[in-house]
A and B are shown apart, each in its own frame.
Chain A
Amino acid sequence: MSVFNQSRSNIIRLIFLGLFLIIIAQLFNLQVIQGKYKVLAMENAVFAKVKYPDRGIIYDRKNRPILNNTIMYDLVVVPNEAKKTDTFGLCEILGIDTAEYNKRIIEARFKNGPYRPSIFEDLLEPQLQARLDENIWKFPGFALVERPVRVYPFNAAAHIMGYIGEADSNIIKRSGGFYHMGDYVGRNGLEAYYERVLMGQRGVEFLLKDNKNRLVGNYEKGRYDTPAVRGRNLHTYIDIELQQLAEKLINGKLGAVVALDPKTGGILAMASGPNYDPNTLTGPNKQKNYSRMVLDVKSPLLNRAIQGFYPPGSTYKPLGALIGLDEGVINQNSGISCTGAYYGCNKVVHCLEHWAGHSANLRLSIAHSCNSFFSDVFRKTIDNPEYRSARTGMVKWTEYMNKFGLGHRIGVDLPSEIGGNVPDTTQYDKEYRRSWNSCTMVTIGIGQDKLTATPLQMANAMAIVANKGYYYIPHFVKNFENETEQDTAMKKYRVKHEVLTHIPNDVYDIVQEGMQDVVEHGTAQVARIPGINMCAKTGTAENKTVLDGRVIQLKDNSMFVCFAPREDPKICVAVVVQNAGYGATWAAPIASLVVEKYLTDSIRAERLPEIKRISEANIIPDYFERLQFKTDSLRARKWFDLTKDSNYIRKYVPRQRITTSAKKQTPPPAAPVVMKPAKDVMINENLYAKRSTTDKRNP
């Protein structure tokens, strides 16, 4: 035992202490300095599960639910537990083969891992769900999971209600992180406009998960959980029976029906044709149905009541008369001698009536819709001697039109409304290089030229006439559940807009008398309802379209606006039926039926055949068939250019031609061969691009 060994014990002690100090330093680093490990541990073990609230229900004026929630079932699978499942039995029930089964299982594994449930088949048909429910014990690892789905009990009001869809990346980005992947968002209609009201508040539940991502219980016994708050219900002005009637009548036609209550601005019904059953966009086949409708050139998804803009035609005349009277350029006794045309300008404006005296005074002129008279009134308004120039007169006229709610979005509670067009001086300055006069746009006087309006705007303008000067912004929602001061959504709909109340009541009376005459013994006698004083105006607007490089003269748009009863207006209706003919033939009976239904709550038995006749009539112009063919073949061609996949284009091209072209595989696709059958298609490519515009605006 040598002495120097004594010092070595100290060295050993030092080695011990030194290594422990290193350990302590590292522990201090991990536990005290670096804060990230706490977060990492939370990410590991705590799973924030979003609890989706039920969306609000939408009721009609009589508290019938138009849009409700129901439960549908998804078949979910936990891949690792499904190993012993009766694969054949399941495939038989679902109608798939084992290859498909294996594919889906692999997909599920890939998506959520082997220990967590993934959707195997979503939104099962009720019969399928029932069969699976009986047999589910045979399929360990599979389960039926509830999923809330929107349902429309009346199969109506598709355009108004809109639909919901999963939030896409755009919506998520725009919402600034408010929405997450997998959230359902209102994508159209009231669902979209009142999204924040209907959606309720998402809840969150903090769950603990283990190393295989299985959920094992609540974190901290649910102390940090937030319950989901159910969405608030909407109460609307809609009368669902009226809505159903309107939809029935407009079905098979292009056009729109709008009925609103002039006293409140509440929209009672709004139908757009062609129509669709809203339930087709909820159930199992929603994707298929949606794409079918998107590809349809008749655009059933378009709400023509707020997105279709039409020249108002003669329905403008009451407004023209009111402006003329208020400006003092005419009075109730003003008349014009019309023999079937207006010759005041270089161009001739034809009139439908020839007999002398149909335009002897204002009242008669409205009743018989004299074009000459109203062309004259318009010119007098523009060339008003009070203002020194036609320019000022035009500015004044534009002001009036804007007050009637035309030329700008009216602010209905639906997304993507269109404002229509009220031409102003700048438009004509541009087109005519500042050299124009009242003759340039004389046809505005009969609601043509550049003047366009949506059916909703026409109905609203009628509401102003009916109310003698004021209106409320048309809207659907009366109120919603638990409305508080913070909910500003409804504020603008409760403001009375007294735009034209300065016009004395007797001026309105003159116009209203003329409008009543329209029904009593004028152009729209078909619309008369016994016992109800209705004021109305028919309209017939010319239109053309361009197809295959030719201008096609289409049948006129049939329009009708009315309000009733005259003494105490309760309903205002505007109807547009595209390419149907005279206003009195189609639009007037539709409006009249709607008014009768609303005011008397029923329809006289003798009018039932009329409903049948109208609802069964299909007056969609023939050219749509050609247009559909063209757009489809163009799309197929684009697809072929893009992918060289000839599956779609084959339908439009003779067989041998497509095979030869496919064999050639020339990179800039051998144009002449494939192109020939769709030759005229290329000429009108811009027409394809503007398909929806030509559809909406019939020039």
Chain B
Amino acid sequence: MNNQRNPTISKGVDSTLIWLYLLLVAIGLMSIFSVTYHEGDEVVKSFLNFKTNYSKQLIFFAVSLLIGLFILLTDSKFFTATANIWYAFGILLLLLVFPFHTNIKGTESIIKLGGFNLQPAELCKVFVCLALAKYLSRVETDFSKTRSHLMAAGIVCLPLLITIAQKETGLALVFLAFFLVMFREGLPAGYLIIGFSLAVLVVATLLIDKDILAIILTVVAVIAIYFGWRFTRQRRELIIIVSIIWVTCVGVQRFAVPFIFTHVLQKHQVERIFSLIGRENPYAVLNTVEGDEPVATKKDTDYNVRQSKIAIGSGGFVGRGFLKGTQTRFDFVPEQSTDFIFCTIGEGFGFLGSLAVLGIYIFLLLRIVNIAERQRSVFSRCYAYGVASVFFFHIAINICMTIGLAPVIGIPLPFVSYGGTSLISFSTMLFILVRLDADRQMVLR
């Protein structure tokens, strides 16, 4: 972006964000190049023939820049005004997937448009972000009321549920990131605590035998009642509350988790979760109702993370050098230009390189949070937090899954992973933010 020549666009634009963006896309292109490149290929030629992944990514980047330019040329009010329409459009796209989807790698979330695979679930993040910001910034919204909490949650959960129905649980989980925005906007901490407790309970369910866990929960409940008995006079309510909590916990642990694992989550996702915690899948038998044998998968899911860890680990402190990594160059790591792109960085440039990339990301995130905090308009602030949360979720989960800290749920690394829809939607999100930030003196409703 040339700041001097085009004052109408460049005025107020946060150049730091743009530079970080360009840097990350460059790192991405380089990583994809090092995966696909074979010795003896003519570099310039293959960059321009649009057949290899990296030259395709180059086109996607060009398209993103074009869209970015358009966004910078529009008025900020356009986004507040059209946020709900975009949201409706997004939901419509998501619904269109059901009749028109093509089956690629077990997901049912992709529409094939000529040579381009459109994944509406990726794009929808932008629209949800806008719509949530719009809702939260309405004058009539009082975000201290439970009703508005539910409304906001509904905005987020509608696309989430549709995405789950498309067997893209990974992308669906991304929508959960928007709860951070709501937290910022005053969602009582209790919700997060409850959410966190639920997460702990689910993990505990996976790790501990269900009967033992039930006993533990009962013991905790009894102890709570015993101590509560001494300190409170409203003993009746205490017993009721504790009982409700106990019933909920046991219900989650006994029925909800098995139900989710057998009916909501995909079989391979269940396998991944169990391979992450290093256990046999106890629901394997239930999963086989669909007709596959349960044995072969375990090794397979293990394989991805194992190879990915080997790739990153073998990078060592300074890395094996650009184009020198054997793990990534000879296809040991699956999905390495998309979900496992971080392996290329880890193997080629080692701990230092990974640290540098992580540094860029954290700098980007904190920068966005700072930008959010300097907005006068609630819409802009909410939107900025939405962007930060989505980016954070993607970055953290993606890297964690390559280093074996999170289950493999198949979400891309922003700006670096190969993929048209993801690059374009992330760029769009960022450019809208830049546009809004440029008009930060305005109060948008």
A residues touching B (Cβ–Cβ < 8 Å)?
Answer: 1-2, 4-6, 8-9, 11-13, 15-17, 19-20, 22-24, 26-28, 30-32, 34, 36-38, 40-42, 44-46, 208-211, 216-217
Compute how far the CA of A40 lies from the CA of B350 in the bound complex, rounded to whole angstroms. 16
User: Are A5 and B313 closer than 8 Å at their CB atoms?
Assistant: no
B residues touching A (Cβ–Cβ < 8 Å)?
Answer: 39, 180, 183-186, 307, 309-317, 325-327, 330-332, 346-347, 350-351, 354-355, 358, 361-362, 365-366, 369, 372-373, 378, 385, 388, 392, 396, 399-400, 403-405
What are 26 pairs between A and B in contact, CB < 8 Å? A5-B186, A13-B369, A16-B369, A16-B388, A19-B392, A20-B358, A20-B396, A22-B405, A23-B400, A24-B355, A27-B312, A27-B351, A27-B358, A30-B346, A31-B312, A31-B354, A32-B316, A32-B317, A37-B310, A38-B313, A40-B314, A42-B314, A42-B326, A45-B326, A208-B330, A210-B331
Nearest-neighbour CB distance to chain A for B404, whole angstroms, equals 8
Nearest-neighbour CB distance to chain B for A17, whole angstroms, equals 7
8 smallest CB-CB distances across A and B, nearest first, come from A37-B313, A45-B326, A41-B314, A210-B330, A31-B351, A30-B313, A211-B331, A37-B314
From A5, A15, A31, A216, B317 is in contact (CB under 8 Å) with: A31
Residues of B within 8 A of A1 (CB): 378
Residues of A within 8 A of B355 (CB): 24, 27
Q: A8-B183, A23-B396, A24-B355 are in contact. Are A34 and B405 (CB under 8 A)?
A: no
Nearest-neighbour CB distance to chain A for B207, whole angstroms, equals 19
User: Are B326 and A9 closer than 8 Å at their CB atoms?
Assistant: no
User: Are B330 and A45 closer than 8 Å at their CB atoms?
Assistant: yes
Nearest-neighbour CB distance to chain B for A107, whole angstroms, equals 22
Q: A16-B362, A24-B358 are in contact. Are A40 and B396 (CB under 8 A)?
A: no
Compute how far the CA of A2 lies from the CA of B372 in the bound complex, rounded to whole angstroms. 15
Residues of A within 8 A of B358 (CB): 20, 23-24, 27
Nearest-neighbour CB distance to chain B for A1, whole angstroms, equals 7
User: Are A40 and B313 closer than 8 Å at their CB atoms?
Assistant: yes
Residues of B within 8 A of A211 (CB): 330-332
Residues of A within 8 A of B180 (CB): 12, 15
Compute how far the CA of A576 lies from the CA of B314 in the bound complex, rounded to whole angstroms. 69
Compute how far the CA of A467 lies from the CA of B247 in the bound complex, rounded to whole angstroms. 109
Residues of A within 8 A of B326 (CB): 41-42, 44-46, 208
Residues of A within 8 A of B314 (CB): 37-38, 40-42
Q: A27-B351, A37-B310, A40-B313 are in contact. Are A12 and B184 (CB under 8 A)?
A: yes
Q: A31-B316, A211-B331 are in contact. Are A16 and B365 (CB under 8 A)?
A: yes
5 further contact pairs, Cβ within 8 A, besides A12-B180, A30-B346, A41-B311: A5-B185, A12-B388, A16-B366, A26-B400, A209-B330
From A11, A20, A45, B362 is in contact (CB under 8 Å) with: A20
Residues of A within 8 A of B362 (CB): 16-17, 20
Residues of A within 8 A of B354 (CB): 27, 31
User: Are B396 and A19 closer than 8 Å at their CB atoms?
Assistant: yes
Compute how far the CA of A9 lies from the CA of B399 in the bound complex, rounded to whole angstroms. 24
Residues of A within 8 A of B317 (CB): 31-32
Chain B interface, DSSP helix/strand/loop, else mixed: helix
Residues of B within 8 A of A31 (CB): 312-313, 315-317, 346, 350-351, 354
User: Are A30 and B403 closer than 8 Å at their CB atoms?
Assistant: yes
Task: Choose among A1, A8, A22, A42 the residue with the greatest number of B CB atoms under 10 Å from its CB.
Answer: A8
User: Are B312 and A12 closer than 8 Å at their CB atoms?
Assistant: no
Residue of B nearest to A221 (CB): B39
User: Are B392 and A16 closer than 8 Å at their CB atoms?
Assistant: yes
User: Are B392 and A2 closer than 8 Å at their CB atoms?
Assistant: no
Nearest-neighbour CB distance to chain B for A18, whole angstroms, equals 10
- How many A-B contacts at CB < 8 Å in the complex? 119
User: Are B310 and A27 closer than 8 Å at their CB atoms?
Assistant: no
Q: A16-B365, A20-B358, A23-B400 are in contact. Are A9 and B313 (CB under 8 A)?
A: no
From A23, A28, A208, A209, B399 is in contact (CB under 8 Å) with: A23
Residues of B within 8 A of A13 (CB): 366, 369
User: Are B351 and A28 closer than 8 Å at their CB atoms?
Assistant: yes
Q: A16-B362, A27-B354 are in contact. Are A40 and B332 (CB under 8 A)?
A: no
Residues of B within 8 A of A210 (CB): 330-332
Residues of B within 8 A of A12 (CB): 180, 183-184, 369, 385, 388
Nearest-neighbour CB distance to chain B for A659, whole angstroms, equals 47
Compute how far the CA of A17 lies from the CA of B388 in the bound complex, rounded to whole angstroms. 13
Nearest-neighbour CB distance to chain B for A388, whole angstroms, equals 84
Nearest-neighbour CB distance to chain B for A696, whole angstroms, equals 58
Residue of A nearest to B400 (CB): A23
Residues of B within 8 A of A9 (CB): 184, 369, 372-373
From B332, B346, B373, B405, A44 is in contact (CB under 8 Å) with: B332
Residue of A nearest to B391 (CB): A16
Nearest-neighbour CB distance to chain A for B147, whole angstroms, equals 18
User: Are B184 and A27 closer than 8 Å at their CB atoms?
Assistant: no
Q: A30-B312, A31-B313, A38-B313 are in contact. Are A23 and B405 (CB under 8 A)?
A: yes
User: Are A38 and B396 closer than 8 Å at their CB atoms?
Assistant: no
Nearest-neighbour CB distance to chain B for A41, whole angstroms, equals 4
Compute how far the CA of A28 lies from the CA of B366 in the bound complex, rounded to whole angstroms. 23
Residues of A within 8 A of B372 (CB): 9
Residues of B within 8 A of A6 (CB): 373
Compute how far the CA of A12 lies from the CA of B327 in the bound complex, rounded to whole angstroms. 36
Compute how far the CA of A19 lies from the CA of B326 in the bound complex, rounded to whole angstroms. 29
Residue of A nearest to B181 (CB): A12
Compute how far the CA of A217 lies from the CA of B325 in the bound complex, rounded to whole angstroms. 14
Compute how far the CA of A15 lies from the CA of B179 in the bound complex, rounded to whole angstroms. 13
Compute how far the CA of A690 lies from the CA of B413 in the bound complex, rounded to whole angstroms. 77
User: Are A8 and B184 closer than 8 Å at their CB atoms?
Assistant: yes
Nearest-neighbour CB distance to chain B for A37, whole angstroms, equals 3
Residues of B within 8 A of A26 (CB): 400, 403-405
Residue of B nearest to A23 (CB): B399
User: Are A27 and B346 closer than 8 Å at their CB atoms?
Assistant: yes
Nearest-neighbour CB distance to chain B for A164, whole angstroms, equals 36
Task: Choose among A26, A38, A41 the residue with the greatest number of B CB atoms under 10 Å from its CB.
Answer: A41
User: Are B330 and A216 closer than 8 Å at their CB atoms?
Assistant: yes
Nearest-neighbour CB distance to chain B for A256, whole angstroms, equals 59
Compute how far the CA of A20 lies from the CA of B358 in the bound complex, rounded to whole angstroms. 8
Compute how far the CA of A11 lies from the CA of B403 in the bound complex, rounded to whole angstroms. 25
Compute how far the CA of A28 lies from the CA of B351 in the bound complex, rounded to whole angstroms. 7
Compute how far the CA of A6 lies from the CA of B369 in the bound complex, rounded to whole angstroms. 12
Compute how far the CA of A186 lies from the CA of B219 in the bound complex, rounded to whole angstroms. 74
Residues of B within 8 A of A44 (CB): 307, 310, 326-327, 332
Residues of B within 8 A of A32 (CB): 316-317, 351
Compute how far the CA of A216 lies from the CA of B332 in the bound complex, rounded to whole angstroms. 13
Residues of A within 8 A of B307 (CB): 44
Compute how far the CA of A338 lies from the CA of B404 in the bound complex, rounded to whole angstroms. 102
Residue of A nearest to B332 (CB): A211
Residue of B nearest to A210 (CB): B330
Residues of A within 8 A of B405 (CB): 22-23, 26
User: Are B310 and A41 closer than 8 Å at their CB atoms?
Assistant: yes
Nearest-neighbour CB distance to chain B for A287, whole angstroms, equals 38
Residues of B within 8 A of A17 (CB): 362
User: Are B309 and A30 closer than 8 Å at their CB atoms?
Assistant: yes
User: Are A36 and B184 closer than 8 Å at their CB atoms?
Assistant: no
Nearest-neighbour CB distance to chain A for B203, whole angstroms, equals 15
Task: Choose among A6, A17, A28, A45 the residue with the greatest number of B CB atoms under 10 Å from its CB.
Answer: A45
Residues of A within 8 A of B366 (CB): 13, 16
Nearest-neighbour CB distance to chain B for A31, whole angstroms, equals 4
Compute how far the CA of A40 lies from the CA of B325 in the bound complex, rounded to whole angstroms. 13
Residues of A within 8 A of B399 (CB): 23
Compute how far the CA of A4 lies from the CA of B361 in the bound complex, rounded to whole angstroms. 27
Residues of B within 8 A of A41 (CB): 310-311, 313-314, 325-327, 347
User: Are A37 and B309 closer than 8 Å at their CB atoms?
Assistant: yes
Compute how far the CA of A2 lies from the CA of B399 in the bound complex, rounded to whole angstroms. 35
Residues of B within 8 A of A22 (CB): 405
Residue of A nearest to B186 (CB): A5
Compute how far the CA of A36 lies from the CA of B396 in the bound complex, rounded to whole angstroms. 25
Residues of B within 8 A of A20 (CB): 358, 361-362, 396
Compute how far the CA of A1 lies from the CA of B142 in the bound complex, rounded to whole angstroms. 10
